[in-house]
Structure 1
Amino acid sequence: MRPAHRASRFRAVKRILQGRLRNENDLDAARQLVLSHLRLVISVSRGYLGYGIPHADLIQEGSIGLMKAVKRFEPARGVRLVSFAVHWIKAEIHEYILKNWRMVKLATTKAQRKLFFNLRSMKVNRSGVGAQEAASIAQRLNVKPAEVAEMDTRLSGHDTAFDAQADDDEAFVPAAYLADHSREPVHVLEGRDRERLYTEDLQRALGSLDPRSRRIVESRWLREEDPATLHELAGEFHVSAERIRQIEIQAMRKLRANLAPLVASA
């Protein structure tokens, strides 16, 4: 049988199978249509071997896309099953690669997906994308140059384990510098002691000062905003700024003496 007759007979068989599936919901017809197009799945999946995904997994996902295409195919629309199936095969493979290529999904928007599957082949070399090259790629893909640069950065990165591997105790991993020690009992108790020192004990030490000295220390050191100046306090107490400075020095010495035992025991 000549190739032309063989192809004509194959198309006729496909039309019969499609009619059985559409009109009678014949599952055996669907099975035969899927099996007859498995070579198409293998051919399409080869184009995605550069993403580090096993070829068997790509064929498996592409086969799922083929089954969906066979189920949804409408012969009356004038589109060949092969053309319709390619769309679904690629869609399933794309989704699988995006979910499994990295732990964190890289492409979520339509523009990012377009960049993910085209940027590698459009780059001149493996180094970073320059401003001119990013602008050129952005124009060809109808996206923003900033999106090209961002996707190139994402593609050049790699996953990092949070904890060290069992055979690498000295690995510098996020767990080594992202640990939160603030809730550890020792730190909690130390925080409570500091809070007590800064509130109860400080108030007790301030109470040992005379009213004028306390007023000067509180105005100069304990205000959260706009601490008073020596000249402002001098005007308030009708003395010189130098006298205010002397009173402040004496008051601070007395405070330090009262708080020293508490700081040493904290």
Structure 2
Amino acid sequence: MSTALAAPNPWSLVPPLGNLDAYISAVNRMPMLTLEQEQQFARQLKNDNDVDAAGKLVMSHLRLVVSVARQYLGYGLPHGDLIQEGNVGLMKAVKRFDPDQGVRLVSYALHWIKAEMHEYILKNCRMVKVATTKAQRKLFFNLRSMKQGFKSDSAAIDGDTHRDTLSAAEIDSMATQLKVKREDVIEMETRLSGGDVMLDPGPSDDGEDSFGPIAYLADTHQEPTALLEARARDTMASDGIRTALDGLDDRSRRIVEERWLKVQDDGSGGMTLHELAADYGVSAERIRQIETAAMKKMKKALTDYA
């Protein structure tokens, strides 16, 4: 064991949380391991489950995580979060590393570090996950760089630096190089070219409610409260009205039914006050008074029924 690793404890070089620049500076000062040291610590971990040896393997490769994280800053996620996820991948790699395979830890850990960062990016760069299949994941992490290459080639040929869409030839070329279907390239290009849309944007700057897609996606007809209210209205319109009518005398009931519950053959409303007045041999005002009294009685009956 070298004196550089024996004293002082390398863990003491890591600054307190909260200062990313200080952390990066500290991990870049971590001592590198020679092949012999790496093999020694890896065997101590594998054979004796030596946690201190595992810590030295992790600490000496933290700079690798920082370097890889810089490559993924273009996805709009915090640098510190990318480093944190990469560190998880590094620890998984150290745990699974076999020193007898003839591979340096740096090469073995690279896969695990990128895998954790890829998973984090896919889950967090958009509200909706944009890549789930193996082909989609491959396209997600290659489409942007390949598209920039096509744009550079196009600019060199015809001076067009503003074209955003892929041409048919570029789509075919990308599908061939990445060994995916042409349709997968088109679909991923469409997904990445669109942004997230908030379903419920909430109040705007002026305090007014903003309308988002949620206002058009909600099916109010199947909303439980609406179903219960509709059922209650239907019951009231049938059984409730019938019960209220049963509480009226024959004349009052006929007046209400003829005025409000019957429809003529031509689609017009029921009998008028004057028609009913002529039928009963009284004035239209008397029919109106009987109708008003009947309506009040029915209203009370419906309230009791509800």
For 2:45 and 2:38, locate their aligned partners in 1 and report how far apart those are by CA, in whole Å.
Answer: 10
For 1:150 and 1:190, locate their aligned partners in 2 and report how far apart those are by CA, in whole Å.
Answer: 48
Query: Does the CA contact (< 8 Å) of 1:181 and 1:187 recur in 2?
Result: no
**Is 1:48 aligned with 2:85?**
no
1:101 aligned to 105, 113, 125, which one?
125
For 1:65 and 1:87, locate their aligned partners in 2 and report how far apart those are by CA, in whole Å.
Answer: 8
TM-score, normalization: structure 1?
A: 0.67
Partner of 1:111: 135
**Is 1:163 aligned with 2:205?**
no
Name the SS of the counterpart of 1:139 in structure 2. helix
For 1:151 and 1:190, locate their aligned partners in 2 and report how far apart those are by CA, in whole Å.
Answer: 49
Query: Does the CA contact (< 8 Å) of 2:44 and 2:50 recur in 1?
Result: yes
2:166 aligned to 119, 122, 129, which one?
129
Query: Does the CA contact (< 8 Å) of 1:69 and 1:88 recur in 2?
Result: yes
For 1:115 and 1:44, locate their aligned partners in 2 and report how far apart those are by CA, in whole Å.
Answer: 19
Counterpart AA for 1:176? A
For 1:256 and 1:138, locate their aligned partners in 2 and report how far apart those are by CA, in whole Å.
Answer: 70
1:188 aligned to 225, 230, 246, which one?
230
Instruction: Identify if the C-alpha distance between structure 1 residues 141 and 259 changes in structure 2 by more than 3 Å, giving closer, same or farther.
Output: same
Q: What fraction of aligned residue pairs are identical, expressed as a percent?
A: 55
Query: Does the CA contact (< 8 Å) of 1:62 and 1:92 recur in 2?
Result: yes
For 2:32 and 2:146, locate their aligned partners in 1 and report how far apart those are by CA, in whole Å.
Answer: 39
For 1:44 and 1:256, locate their aligned partners in 2 and report how far apart those are by CA, in whole Å.
Answer: 82
Shift of 1:189: 6.8
Shift of 1:170: 5.5
TM-score, normalization: structure 2?
A: 0.58
For 2:188 and 2:118, locate their aligned partners in 1 and report how far apart those are by CA, in whole Å.
Answer: 16
Partner of 1:69: 93
Shift of 1:8: 9.9
Shift of 1:97: 0.4
Which stretch of structure 1 is more off in the superposition, 110-119 or 100-109? 100-109
For 2:172 and 2:221, locate their aligned partners in 1 and report how far apart those are by CA, in whole Å.
Answer: 46
Counterpart AA for 2:126? R
**Is 1:257 aligned with 2:265?**
yes
Name the SS of the counterpart of 2:219 in structure 1. coil
Name the SS of the counterpart of 2:34 in structure 1. helix
Counterpart AA for 2:210? A
How many residue pairs are counted as aligned between the two chains? 197
Instruction: Identify if the C-alpha distance between structure 1 residues 9 and 160 changes in structure 2 by more than 3 Å, giving closer, same or farther.
Output: closer
1:20 aligned to 13, 31, 44, which one?
44
Which stretch of structure 1 is more off in the superposition, 10-19 or 34-43? 10-19
Shift of 1:77: 1.5
For 2:89 and 2:228, locate their aligned partners in 1 and report how far apart those are by CA, in whole Å.
Answer: 57
Counterpart AA for 2:53? A
Name the SS of the counterpart of 1:257 in structure 2. coil
Shift of 1:130: 2.2
1:18-50 residue CA offsets vs partner (Å, 9 max, x unmatched): 121111110000011100000000001110000
Shift of 1:61: 0.3
Name the SS of the counterpart of 1:53 in structure 2. coil
**Is 1:89 aligned with 2:103?**
no
Structure 2 gaps, min length 5: 1-30, 152-162, 239-262, 271-306
Query: Does the CA contact (< 8 Å) of 2:32 and 2:60 recur in 1?
Result: no
Name the SS of the counterpart of 2:220 in structure 1. coil
Query: Does the CA contact (< 8 Å) of 1:98 and 1:106 recur in 2?
Result: yes
Give the root-mean-square deviation of aligned CA atoms.
2.9
1:144 aligned to 181, 198, 220, which one?
181
Structure 1 gaps, min length 5: 1-6, 197-254
